[in-house]
Structure 1
Amino acid sequence: MDCIFCKIVDGAIPAKKVYEDEKILAFYDISPAAPVHILVIPKEHIESVVDLRKENVEIVSYIFEKIRTIAKDFNLDESGFRVVTNCGDDAGQTVKHLHFHILGGRTMQWPPG
C-alpha cells in the first residue's frame, strides 16, 4: 500500500507524535494551518468517512474520546478548537486515509480561511 499515513503508523516515515495506542495515532501536521494542528488517524487503513462500515465505525467515537483528551492536554478545551475531516478530492482530502484535524490556538473564521 502506498499510503503515507500507513507508513507513519508502521514507522517507515517519522512523525512528531502527540499520542499513540493500539488503535490510533495522533501527530503534528507538517503544514500547520493553526498554531496547534494535530492529525488523529486510526491505525487501520480506512480511506474516508464514506468507507466506514458497521464493522469499523466504532473507531470514530474512540477517536473523538481521544480528541477531547488531546485538546485538554493542549489547553484548547478552554479557548475552543475545530475538528475537521475531508472526504474526497473536492473536499480537499489529499491523503486517502481517514484522519481528523484538530485546529486551535487562534480564533477561527467561518467560512474557513
Structure 2
Amino acid sequence: MERERLTEAKVTEVAAAVRGTLKKAARERFTASWSRMRRQLGSTCPITFTPDDQVAVLAQVDVHMPIDELLLTALVAATDTTSASVFQQVARRLGRAVPDDIQAARSQWETDALHPQQLHHYR
C-alpha cells in the first residue's frame, strides 16, 4: 500500500520545525539526520516520508534562502544514502546550480555541509 503524500499545510508545518532544527545544527556545527530530527520534533515530524515529501519539506526549508548562501538542507547527514539525490532535487527545485552526476552532486553537498565559513551565518 502506497503511503499518502503530505498535504501542503503539513509540508509547511514540518518545514518550519525542520528549519529550526537545521539552524541549531548549523550553529553547533553538526549535520542532522532524519532520525535525529524525528526524535527532536516528536509528533510534528512524520515517522516516514516519501522521497517526494522529503524533497518538498527540504525545499520549503530553503525557499527564501539567498542564492549566495548555504542551503540548510545540505546539513542532512551523509549517513542517509539517498541524501545526495534529495539534495540534488531540492537544489534544482530552488533554481540552484547542481551537477547532473550524482557523485559530483554528493561532493558539492558534502562540501556545502562542511564549509565552516558558510555556517557562521547561523551563529
Q: Give the shorter-chain TM-score range.
A: 0.3 to 0.5
TM-score by length of 1: 0.32
| Structure with the bigger percentage of strand | 1
TM-score by length of 2: 0.31
